[in-house]
């Protein structure tokens, strides 16, 4: 079996760079994608220690996604990790909503992962493992929503979960497993300093889930500790 190849979006900081650290440390080949490689100092430090190739990628830009697919060429991608995401910069309370910002959140968190999956599905299908893991959120859960608010972010991650289930159905015949993951509340720029988990702790759990997420587990929403998360 050849070396496992992993592709991570939003790889320059937070959970994304922790995924790069994890898989590069495990001896995998990693395609680390970020909007501005020239400013990705944490990623550069990680990249020096392993088989890491850095690519520019803005998941809201179709040309950028096509350029990435062209750069990957015919190399198989065992694990595609759609990690890039935004919480939204504008207000998301009822009666106080920034609609332009909401649209950007949907383009980034829903359409972005879908476009990346569409552009790279052939590469994933050509690999040994054939996994697409999408970083969702507990805030996607309809069943677990007890506080309201966060309209843009919640709706984007709930929509991403539907994309995951759809992709799982559509890509099953090509042997590709597609899952959604809740990373927990993680100390990053998005999660803030008061969060519960380090990015490395979250990624240690999520990578175990991804390793076990074969076709029989496709179309599911997993907590980083391995149990199913309620839709």
Q: Which residues bind ligand NAP (CB under 6 A)?
A: 9-10, 12-16, 34-36, 57-60, 83-86, 108, 135, 137, 183, 185-186, 188-191, 195
Q: How far is the CB of 66 from ligand NAP (least distance, A)?
A: 14
61-70 LR contacts (CB < 8 Å, sep 24+): 62/115, 65/115, 65/116, 65/119, 66/119, 68/33, 68/116, 68/119, 68/120, 69/119, 69/120, 69/123
- Nearest CA among 160, 174, 51, 157 for reference residue 115: 160
Work out how close the CB of 2 gets to ligand NAP at its nearest, in angstroms, rounded to a whole number: 28
Please, what is the minimum distance in Å from the beta carbon of residue 231 to ligand NAP?
16
User: Closer CB to ligand NAP, residue 95 or residue 193?
Assistant: 193
> 141-166 burial string, b = 16+ CB within 10 Å, else e?
beeeeeeeebbbbbbbbbbbbebbbe
Nearer residue to ligand NAP within complex by CB, 60 or 145: 60
Tell me whether residue 162 or residue 173 sits nearer to ligand NAP (CB atom): 162
Detail the DSSP E strand segments found in 119-164: 131-135
Of the pair 5, 82, the CB lying nearest ligand NAP is at: 82
Neighbours of 125 (CB within 10 A): 15
Cβ closest to ligand NAP, residue 42 vs residue 215? 42
* Smallest separation (angstroms) from ligand NAP to the CB of 206: 10
Report the nearest approach of ligand NAP to the CB of residue 13 (Å).
5
């Amino acid at each position: 079996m050849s070396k496992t190849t992993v592709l991570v979006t939003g790889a320059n900081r937070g959970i994304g760079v922790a995924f790069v650290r994890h898989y590069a440390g495990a001896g995998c080949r990693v395609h680390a994608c970020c909007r501005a490689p020239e400013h990705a100092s944490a990623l550069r430090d990680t990249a020096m220690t392993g088989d890491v190739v850095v690519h520019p990628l803005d998941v809201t830009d179709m040309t950028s996604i096509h350029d990435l697919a062209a750069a990957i060429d015919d190399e198989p991608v065992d694990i595609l990790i759609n990690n890039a995401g935004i919480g939204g910069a504008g207000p998301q309370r009822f009666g106080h909503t920034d609609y332009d910002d909401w649209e950007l959140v949907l383009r980034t968190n829903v359409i972005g992962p879908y476009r990346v999956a569409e552009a790279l599905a052939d590469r994933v299908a050509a690999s040994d493992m054939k996994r697409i893991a999408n970083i969702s959120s507990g805030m996607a859960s309809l069943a677990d929503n007890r506080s309201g608010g966060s309209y843009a972010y919640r709706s984007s991650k709930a929509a991403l979960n539907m994309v995951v289930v759809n992709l799982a159905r559509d890509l099953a015949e090509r042997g590709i497993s597609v899952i959604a993951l809740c990373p927990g509340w993680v100390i990053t720029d998005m999660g803030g300093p008061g969060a519960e988990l380090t990015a490395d702790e979250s990624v240690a759990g999520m990578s175990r889930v991804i390793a076990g997420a074969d076709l029989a587990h496709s179309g599911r929403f997993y907590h980083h500790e391995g149990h199913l998360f309620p839709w």
